Amino acid sequence: MHVVVFTRSTPDTAAKVEVGADGKVTWGDAATVVNPWDEYALEEGILQAKNGGGKATAISIGGEMHNESLKHSLAMGLDEAVRIEDAALDANDSLAYATAAAAAVKKLGDVNLVICGKESVDVGTDQHIYQMARKLGWTLLAYVSKILEVDYAAGTIKVERLLEQGKQIVTSKLPAVITVMKDINEPRYPSFIGIRKASKAVIPVWSLADLGVTPPAAHTKLVAFKNLPVRDTQVEMIEGTPEEQATQLVDKLLQEKVL
């Protein structure tokens, strides 16, 4: 069996992100890290490959900055890593991303399970993942908080999904694309030996020609990034005994009409 985990590099979660005069996003000299949601996907990839007696491959779509997340994946213990980059591929368009991602999974040939983090914190989207599942024609199980059973020989999977109103337990068939939530596992830290091995790894890059696909014309376009509207941050401190603070706060909240 073969598990694929999609990952990408994102600015450090504590970084101050701003929009420059050119409309582009900058995060100063803050480091890039593996997308925080992907850590759970990578850990689950390692666990599933081990349980199924198979291997795990990490894939990133985009420029060289994403080597960072792929090296992290190898250092954690995934077996292989591939990056997909092509000047004709606009990975910001979810259909283009999904088309390339599905082609890469097909090119690997023997994949039973694709695991993704719930979303990418940079672009803040998840639709490219669901669209990859549709382009593959595979089962999609999103928001998975637990894999309860998986039988690669029989091609069945049973998971717990975390939805707004509670937990849903479902069974379905493999191959499948799943997205995982934070609850699913405790991601490991890369080992010293893992980091050393990963630092020497040469990561192959596949082009659209290698994948043999042409993405459909993009219907969406990123127009510009904008800084947030300036928040009226003048905080009004409410002092006194706890009872006085409570009374004054209720007065203020009634004035603000939020109660």
Partner 1 sequence: MSAVFVWIETFEGAALPTSWEALGAGALLAEKSGGALTALVFGENADAVAKEAGEHGATQALVCADATLKGFRLEPYAALLTKLVQEHQPRAVLAVATTRGRELLAASAADTDSGMISDVSSLDVQGDGSVVATRSAYAGKVMSDVSIDAAGTQFITIRGRAFRPNEAKAGAQAAVTSVAPVLSEDQIATKVERFEAEVGTVNLTDAAIIVSGGRGIANNPKDAPGDAGDAAVWKAKDGFANVIQPLADVLGAAVGASRAAVDAGYIPYAHQVGQTGKVVSPDLYIACGISGAIQHQAGMRTSKVIVAINKDKEAPIFKMARFGLVGDLYQILPALTAELKKRLGK
> Which residues 150-169 are close enough to bind partner 1 by CB under 8 A?
158, 162-169
- 113 vs 181, beta carbon nearer partner 1: 181
Find the part of the chain contacting partner 1 (CB under 8 A) among 52-60, 104-112, 196-204, 249-257: 249-257
73-81, 92-100, 188-196, 198-206 -> range binding partner 1 (CB under 8 A): 92-100
Least CB distance from residue 96 to partner 1, whole Å? 11
Question: Is residue 218 within the footprint of partner 1 (CB under 8 A)?
Answer: yes
Show contacts of 220-229: CB within 8 Å, 24+ apart.
220/92, 220/93, 220/94, 221/93, 222/92, 224/19, 224/23, 225/19, 225/23, 225/24, 225/25, 226/19, 227/18, 227/19
Closest CA to 104 of 70, 142, 57: 57
Omega before residue 175 within 30° of 0, cis: yes
Among 50, 64, 127, 154, binds partner 1 (CB under 8 A): 127
How is residue 45 written in tokens? 């990839």
Complex with partner 1: residue 169 or 209, whichever CB lies closer:
169
Count, residues near partner 1 per rule CB under 8 A: 81
Q: Based on the shown chain and the rule CB under 8 A, indicate whether residue 139 belongs to the binding site for partner 1.
A: yes
Continuous segment of H or E residues that includes residue 10 = strand 9-11
Give the residue with the Cβ less far from partner 1, 72 or 198.
72
Binding mask 40-79 for partner 1 (x = CB under 8 A): ----------------------------------------
Return the axis-axis angle of helices 127-136 and 94-108, rounded to nearest 10°.
Answer: 50
Pairing of the two strands 55-61 and 2-6? parallel
Q: Among 88, 170, 191, 207, which residue interacts with partner 1 (rule: CB under 8 A)?
A: 170
